[in-house]
Amino acid sequence: MPNKFHQTQSITPDSIDLPVPDQEARLHCEQVTTHIRKKIEEIGGKISFAKYMDLALYAPGLGYYCAGLQKFGEKGDFITAPEISPLFSRCLANQCQQVLSTLNAPQILEFGAGSGIMAADILCELEQLNCLPEHYLILELSAELQQRQHQTIKKHVPHLLERVRWIHHWPEKPFNGVILANEVLDAMPVRRIQWQGDAIIERMVCWQDGFTWCDGDDINPEHLTFRHVTGYTSEYNEALDSWIKQAGDSLQNGMILAIDYGYNRQEYYHPQRSDGTLRCHYQHHAHNNPLILPGLQDITAHVDFTAVAQAAIAADLSVAGYTSQAFFLLANGLTERAEANYPETVPAQLQLAQQIKKLTMPDAMGETFKVIALTRNIDIPLTGFMMQDYRGRL
Ligand SMILES: C[S@@+](CC[C@H](N)C(=O)[O-])C[C@H]1O[C@@H](n2cnc3c(N)ncnc32)[C@H](O)[C@@H]1O
């Protein structure tokens, strides 16, 4: 069978039809596998799924985000909104402008900047809106991606490169401005859990001729009071509270804008979603087995936006808006921006129409992706939530 990777049984079971990794990729995958197996042995035979996900994605020099793979765009594994069209980032810039213009010496901090294209397009639009921030800070875990971001910004907006600073931890002194996180919360390691009778058990990862699931302790997370049938499996992001707290502590006045695919808690733990929300991406094939292709595939989990809102309130932030990506972009002038730069040739017009569809159609990113705004000392109705605000659903 041509379209399958049979070399190592532990890496891709026959049930998932995926492209065949080349020799170099297979060697890389073996190195990552060995690294994770060592950790499992060191810790006594099993590790939490959060630990597995952390190693598979972020082990220095080895993990998916840290080892120089293509990842983003047509030649990579998945496409994020800023890679689909600059219109996404321009609309975000519009929302930033509304907040930045009310602040003294404002800055932007982008967390997890991927290829750097969102930073480049936002800076470009803010320049046109005459609202450039003093600095555009990027907090990026992956050294390899930091380099790529530098190249992208240098290529697209070389005259603005001097405003961009790469930082390695949250700023020590709170600043005025905006914190942006697009498709970052879904890339944070999550705990995998399973309802068994009255208990919620943690699902762990162990090794038996390949990575495999095994039971851990009874952990009953306090915030999960739903009752489900035995076998119902899902996940939760234990690190979310501390991320929101750190982002909040970094802001003197301003807004945190997080965009990601996710649901409110009721939808997240809906009885029909009985195998959770884990999603993996390998060369534009999506599937839900995170235990294969370690280091070669992206692993994500949807965001529980109720958890985001609760963490924000605990961190003394206001939940200033929650809506779908489609409503947020339209309210920030998506149509007007598309019209203003309407291309002349028919192929380019068709391409633009496709891009807008991907960003806004409910069955593409429009409804699956949500935008949440968390603010500190900002008391204006935010443009992006004026068409539709779903805060009541959180
Ligand atoms: C799915 S990518 C999204 C990239 C980009 N925001 C976009 O929309 O194209 C996740 C990004 O978050 C970064 N990241 C994940 N965890 C991080 C952490 N703890 N600190 C800093 N960056 C992190 C990854 O390296 C990567 O750049």
pLDDT at 17: 82
117 CA: nearest ligand 1 atom: 9
Q: What is the mean pLDDT of residues 357-384?
A: 96
Distance 164 CA to ligand 1 centre (A): 17
Beta-ladder partners of 181: 258
Whole-number pLDDT of residue 340: 93
- Compute CA distances 75 → 140, 282, 288, 320, whole Å: 22, 11, 21, 37
pLDDT at 10: 37
pLDDT at 8 over 70: no
Q: What angle do CA 332, 333, 339 make, to 5 degrees?
A: 160
Instruction: Give me the percent of the chain exceeding a pLDDT of 90.
Output: 85
* 83-124 confidence digits (pLDDT tens): 999 999 999 999 999 999 999 999 999 999 999 999 999 999
Contacts of 150 (CB under 8 A, 6+ apart): 116, 161, 164, 166
Structure tokens at 170: 């949250």
Residue 70 pLDDT > 80: no
Residue bearing the CA closest to ligand 1, atom 8:
182
Alpha-carbon span 364 to 354, nearest angstrom: 11
Alpha helices in the chain (DSSP H): 23-42, 49-58, 81-84, 86-100, 117-128, 143-156, 240-250, 265-268, 305-314, 325-331, 334-340, 346-360
Amino acid occupying residue 22: D
CA 50 to chain centre: 15
Distance 182 CA to ligand 1 centre (A): 8
Closest CA to 299 of 17, 75, 83, 59: 59
- Render pLDDT for 117-163 as a digit per residue (tens, 0 to 9): 999 999 999 999 999 999 999 999 888 899 999 999 999 999 999 99
DSSP letter (8 states) at residue 233: E
Q: What residue type is assigned to position 303 of the chain?
A: V
169 CA to middle of ligand 1, Å? 14
Mean pLDDT of 279-291: 93
Confidence check: pLDDT of 7 > 60? no
The pLDDT tens digits of the residues spanning 180-222 come to: 999 999 999 999 999 999 999 999 999 999 999 999 999 988 8
What is the crossing angle of helices 117-128 and 143-156, to 10°? 40
Which pLDDT value is given to residue 11?
Answer: 43
Q: Say how far apart CA 301 and CA 296 lie, in whole Å.
A: 17
Residue 352 pLDDT class (50, 70, 90 cuts): very high
| Cα maximum dimension of the chain | 63
By most ligand atoms within 8 Å of CB, the mutation choice from 62, 80, 83, 140 for ligand 1 is 140
Pocket probe for ligand 1: among 55, 65, 297, the residue whose CB has the most ligand atoms within 8 Å is 65
- Is-contact 237 303, C-beta < 8 A? yes
Please identify which residue in the block is written with the tokens 């060191």. Answer: 42
pLDDT for residue 9: 33
Q: What is the pLDDT of residues 33-46, one digit of tens each?
A: 999 999 999 999 99
Q: How many CB atoms are located within 10 Å of the residue 226 CB? A: 15
**Which residues does residue 303 pair with via DSSP β-bridges, in sequence order?**
262
Give mean pLDDT, residues 226-246: 96
Distance in Å, CA 111 to ligand 1 centroid: 7
For 299-321, write each residue's pLDDT tens digit.
Answer: 999 999 999 999 999 999 999 99
| Count of Cβ atoms closer than 10 Å to residue 141 Cβ | 17
Euclidean distance between CA atoms 361 and 384, whole angstroms: 17
Tokens 């959770």, located at residue: 276
> CB within 6 Å of ligand 1 — which residues?
65, 72, 80, 82-83, 111-114, 118, 139-142, 145, 182-184, 187
Question: What band does 12 get if pLDDT is binned at 50, 70 and 90?
Answer: very low
Nearest CA to ligand 1 atom 5: 114
